[in-house]
Chains A and B, each alone.
Chain A
Amino acid sequence: MRDEKQIEGAKNPMEDFLRMDRIPHIWCPGCGIGTVVTSFAEAIQKSNINLDKLVVVSGIGCTGRVAGYIKLDSFHTTHGRAVPFATGLKIANPELTVVVFSGDGDICGIGGNHLIHAARRNIDITVICVNNFNYAMTGGQVAPTTPEGANVSTAPYGNYEYPFNLPYLVEASGACYVARWTALHLRRVTKSIQEAIKKRGFSFIEVITPCVTLYARRNRLGEGLDLLKYYYDNSDIQHGANTKDLDIKYQGKLIVGKFVDIEKPTFLDSMNKHFTKVLSDKYEPYVKEVKNG
């Protein structure tokens, strides 16, 4: 219940973090994306970091519009390229705390190659991936995350492809921090974002937020909050679960929690250490990676 109240009161504490001159936003009533933005705003408020040094990068899609509403240095880039854009931004200016905020189709469909490589290199960025199970901005087409059996506009007889298990993918690629929640786990999402931003290294948070307008309507799964509540109620918190076991079945149980939280040198750590070792005083050190806050 507490969570629901927070949704209703979502706008007021947010004014410092939103470009109020761009409100109303484009999201549908009952869409969970706004809820994730609320959690993000709370997380950065609590994180006690210098907001001037915090930047948000989005790609294209419903969640891709997040960058346009957040009152930070914010970049709305091309479809799939938020992660490599963020990679360039972070390593060019390591003082920055860089958060990629985008959708599943953007990050793991068209941008999937960049996702695994940023995780592999352990670029010190946080990726918040809102998984709404379909390509919503274009009208609800099948996505690499659409559960098998779900009906979407380009799988009108039901989806027969295997969807990605994102936590498994990013852990295998090298991520230091991996969590999954539903949008209604407001406090958990907030806490995960705080932890992920603090984490030195590549962090990934999947937030399950089924698209109410397209995915839910087409599959007759109820409206707005009911739908979000269904996922919330059917989720099972299993911290440290083996990411191999995190497949999402159509209307099945959802395993959520924090699965990975490890330490290892970042891309810039490794680069600095390596060049110092092999080039000694010939190495002209590049700006050191510094942690905001």
Chain B
Amino acid sequence: MKTDPKGVLTGSHYMDGDFAIAEGGLAAGCRFFGGYPITPSTETAERFSERIPKVGGIFIQMEDELGAMASLIGAVWGGRKAMTVTSGPGFSLIMENLGLAAMMEIPVVVANVQRGGPSTGLPTLPGQQDMMQARWGSHGDYEIIALSPDSPQECFDLTIEAFNLSEIYRVPTLLMTDECIGHMHEKVIIPPAEEIEVVERKWYKGPKDKYMPYKPDKDGIPFMVKAGDGYRFHTTGLTHDYRGYPEINAEWQDQNVRHLVDKINNNADKIIKIEEDKTDNAEVVVISYGITSRVAIKAVQEARRNGVKVGNIRLITVWPFPEKRIRELADKIKAFVVPEINYGQIVLEVERCAAGKAPVIKVSHLGGGVHNPDDILRLIMEAAK
């Protein structure tokens, strides 16, 4: 369906990634923001707090990220679309109730403007060190969806996409950006509301006494209701049956975990978006995401000028991981080169998918800046030998 025009600031703007995340949320129909200020993500919260009273929604600065994430889940059961934004230390606190959101199958969006870690790390400088935490940072088995924008424009576009995916799959969806993109000012074009497609919640419409919050529909995704509409439903973070009633046994645990994981993995082909350039006859394929993809492209172009057949892949969806495509390529190429601003996280996934068929070379920058393209270039050249 078309989005509610109230939240859409149609036009051509010059804004940073943090602001664009807030505008993306508003354009997607998000009307509840519960958050806690943390550098370098604060501007998203500030933007939201400024815009929301003019759009008809709620901004609440909670006492911490534990409460912020809990408030979002409450707000979603209250019928709203809800989001928060955070960075490293806050992301760790978000994880507690991100687990509850996964278990309760809550459509909700969390943006992480990554900085260097661990701990307080580098509050004002970039990192891509929370990519693994994004996947399984809360305890237990579950899957989420994570997207990684490479520009303020994509911060806007992918925030809307994140809301849509979260509603389709009833799953928390993460926008994993970084300080560079968050604070980068660029042109952001916000289309007219009629051009913005948003996915409505999968509302249940059957008889009230028949509603089961966790009974998968034909597409595997259960229906939702909101509190106060007479369903008298129950939901819990405990392992549960289709009614949402606790079931403390291995059988329902098996059902719950399989459901949470399979609903994402079985739909991976529909969810995953990657950008590919000249991968078809490539000897070497560079894989990157977020700000690093903007640096890597320089190295790729230079290597091509030097006569190397380099393919380039930019991960827009990081989780679920595009393993099928990486496996296909591993059969054909000499090597993968994976630059990222961490000591090697997504590279481990590439390695797993390459399964020894092609070497995987990591190019680490440990945070606080971006790669020097020459460092990537050198390893591309070596890989091509």
Q: Give me the interface of A with B, judged by CB distance under 8 Å.
A: 19, 21-22, 52-53, 55, 57, 67-68, 71-78, 80-81, 83-93, 95-96, 113-114, 117, 271, 275, 279, 282-286
Q: Give me the interface of B with A, judged by CB distance under 8 Å.
A: 6, 32, 34, 53-58, 60, 62-64, 66-68, 70-80, 82, 96-97, 99-100, 226-238, 245-246
Q: Write the chain A residue with the least CB distance to B226.
A: A93
Q: Which of A84, A95, A279 is the one whose CB lies under 8 Å from B70?
A: A84
Cross-chain contact A87 with B228 (CB below 8 angstroms): no
Please, how many angstroms separate the alpha-carbon atoms of A57 and B78 in the complex? 12
Cross-chain contact A88 with B63 (CB below 8 angstroms): no
Q: Note all chain A residues with C-beta closer than 8 A to B96.
A: 78, 81
Cross-chain contact A81 with B97 (CB below 8 angstroms): yes
Cross-chain contact A85 with B228 (CB below 8 angstroms): no
What 8 pairs between A and B have smallest CB-CB spacing?
Answer: A88-B74, A92-B78, A88-B71, A84-B67, A93-B78, A89-B74, A92-B75, A76-B236
Cross-chain contact A92 with B228 (CB below 8 angstroms): no
Q: How far is the CB of B64 from chain A (nearest CB, A)?
A: 7
Cross-chain contact A53 with B228 (CB below 8 angstroms): yes
Cross-chain contact A81 with B53 (CB below 8 angstroms): no
Q: Note all chain B residues with C-beta closer than 8 A to A68.
A: 234, 236, 245-246
Q: How far is the CB of B82 from chain A (nearest CB, A)?
A: 7
Q: Write the chain B residue with the least CB distance to A287.
A: B56
Please, how many angstroms separate the alpha-carbon atoms of A55 and B228 in the complex? 7
Q: Note all chain B residues with C-beta closer than 8 A to A55.
A: 227-228
Please, how many angstroms separate the alpha-carbon atoms of A182 and B19 in the complex? 51
Cross-chain contact A286 with B56 (CB below 8 angstroms): yes
Q: How far is the CB of B230 from chain A (nearest CB, A)?
A: 4
Contacts A81-B70, A279-B53: A91 and B227 contacting too (C-beta < 8 A)?
no
Cross-chain contact A77 with B63 (CB below 8 angstroms): no
Q: Write the chain A residue with the least CB distance to B99.
A: A78
Q: Which of B62, B63, B74, B234 is the one whose CB lies under 8 Å from A74?
A: B234
Please, how many angstroms separate the alpha-carbon atoms of A271 and B237 in the complex? 32
Cross-chain contact A78 with B100 (CB below 8 angstroms): yes
Q: Write the chain A residue with the least CB distance to B245.
A: A22
User: 22 A-B pairs, CB-CB below 8 angstroms?
Assistant: A52-B229, A68-B246, A73-B232, A75-B77, A75-B236, A80-B66, A81-B100, A84-B34, A84-B62, A84-B70, A88-B70, A90-B78, A91-B75, A92-B74, A92-B76, A92-B79, A92-B82, A117-B63, A117-B67, A283-B54, A284-B55, A286-B53
Cross-chain contact B67 with A114 (CB below 8 angstroms): yes
Q: Which of A93, A271, A282, A285 is the one whose CB lies under 8 Å from B227?
A: A93
Contacts A93-B79, A114-B63, A284-B55: A76 and B74 contacting too (C-beta < 8 A)?
no
Please, how many angstroms separate the alpha-carbon atoms of A285 and B58 in the complex? 10
Q: How far is the CB of B8 from chain A (nearest CB, A)?
A: 13
Cross-chain contact B56 with A78 (CB below 8 angstroms): no
Q: How far is the CB of B356 from chain A (nearest CB, A)?
A: 41
Please, how many angstroms separate the alpha-carbon atoms of A72 and B77 in the complex? 14
Please, how many angstroms separate the alpha-carbon atoms of A75 and B96 in the complex? 16
Please, how many angstroms separate the alpha-carbon atoms of A78 and B139 in the complex? 13
Cross-chain contact B234 with A86 (CB below 8 angstroms): no
Please, how many angstroms separate the alpha-carbon atoms of A279 and B56 in the complex? 13
Given A73-B234, A86-B74, A92-B75, 13 extra CB contacts under 8 A: A76-B234, A76-B237, A76-B238, A78-B96, A78-B237, A81-B100, A84-B74, A85-B73, A87-B67, A92-B32, A92-B76, A114-B66, A279-B53
Q: Note all chain A residues with C-beta closer than 8 A to B97.
A: 78, 81
Q: Note all chain B residues with C-beta closer than 8 A to A75.
A: 74, 77, 234-236
Cross-chain contact A89 with B56 (CB below 8 angstroms): no
Most chain A C-beta atoms within 10 Å of own C-beta, residue among B67, B97, B235: B67
Q: How far is the CB of A238 from chain B (nearest CB, A)?
A: 32
Contacts A279-B53, A283-B53: A88 and B234 contacting too (C-beta < 8 A)?
no
Cross-chain contact B82 with A88 (CB below 8 angstroms): yes
Cross-chain contact A285 with B228 (CB below 8 angstroms): no
Please, how many angstroms separate the alpha-carbon atoms of A57 and B238 in the complex? 14
Contacts A19-B234, A68-B234, A284-B55: A88 and B73 contacting too (C-beta < 8 A)?
yes
Please, how many angstroms separate the alpha-carbon atoms of A75 and B213 in the complex? 12
Q: How far is the CB of A108 from chain B (nearest CB, A)?
A: 14
Q: Write the chain B residue with the least CB distance to A114.
A: B67
Q: Write the chain B residue with the least CB distance to A51.
A: B232
Q: Which of B74, B80, B228 is the one whose CB lies under 8 Å from A95?
A: B228
Q: Which of A71, A80, A286 is the one whose CB lies under 8 Å from B58?
A: A286
Cross-chain contact B77 with A87 (CB below 8 angstroms): no
Contacts A67-B234, A73-B231, A95-B228: A89 and B67 contacting too (C-beta < 8 A)?
no
Q: Write the chain A residue with the least CB distance to B72.
A: A88
Q: Note all chain A residues with C-beta closer than 8 A to B100.
A: 77-78, 81
Please, how many angstroms separate the alpha-carbon atoms of A117 and B245 in the complex? 31
Please, how many angstroms separate the alpha-carbon atoms of A76 and B297 in the complex? 48
Cross-chain contact B227 with A113 (CB below 8 angstroms): no
Q: Note all chain B residues with C-beta closer than 8 A to A86.
A: 74
Cross-chain contact A81 with B228 (CB below 8 angstroms): no
Cross-chain contact A92 with B56 (CB below 8 angstroms): no
Q: Note all chain B residues with C-beta closer than 8 A to A85.
A: 70-71, 73-74
Please, how many angstroms separate the alpha-carbon atoms of A53 and B238 in the complex? 24
Cross-chain contact B230 with A52 (CB below 8 angstroms): yes
Cross-chain contact B64 with A113 (CB below 8 angstroms): yes
Q: Note all chain B residues with C-beta closer than 8 A to A71.
A: 232
Q: Write the chain B residue with the least CB distance to A58.
A: B236
Q: Note all chain A residues with C-beta closer than 8 A to B237.
A: 76-78
Cross-chain contact B54 with A88 (CB below 8 angstroms): no
Q: Note all chain A residues with C-beta closer than 8 A to B66.
A: 80-81, 84, 114
Cross-chain contact A285 with B56 (CB below 8 angstroms): yes
Most chain A C-beta atoms within 10 Å of own C-beta, residue among B66, B76, B231, B238: B66
Q: Note all chain A residues with C-beta closer than 8 A to B78.
A: 88-93, 96
